[in-house]
Amino acid sequence: MIKTDKTLYKALKFFSGRTLKNCKEIKEKNPKEYYKYVPKVIEETLLERSRFLDFDVPEEYSPLRVKGTEQLRILESIKIKEKSIWISIIAIIISILALIKSFGLI
């Protein structure tokens, strides 16, 4: 995942686990923590044409819209695939080392 995707993932994850009321409280009381998860540029992108976030929902609901949830799922899928690739690479290296050791070269 590129850096932008990682930042977007972190922001969407932040909104997915909180209600609108909770998000507003964090933004007002502790803006440093809020902007740690949701940089201003990403917030503007998420709010652009209300694609991913909607702050006009009742306060007990999450501000994440359906497109935001879909994007979060896509990014989570990419993250899982990246982990799988690294695990596969490590498994191949271990297999090669075991094969070399079985031939007595190590």
Domain of 19, in residue numbers: 3-102
Average pLDDT of the segment spanning 49-56: 79
pLDDT-based confidence at 49, cuts 50/70/90? Answer: low
Share of the chain above pLDDT 90, in %: 56
Residue 69 vs residues 4, 29, 37, 86, 90: alpha-carbon distances, Å: 17, 26, 17, 26, 32
> Which residues, including other chains, have CB under 8 Å from residue 42's CB and lie 6 or more apart?
7, 8, 11
Using the predicted structure, report yes or no on whether residue 29 has a pLDDT greater than 90.
yes
Q: Cα separation of 49 and 44, whole Å?
A: 10
- Reported as a single tens digit per residue, the pLDDT across 55-101 is 888 888 888 888 889 999 999 999 999 999 999 999 999 999 999 99
* Overall number of domains in the chain: 1
Mean pLDDT of the chain: 90
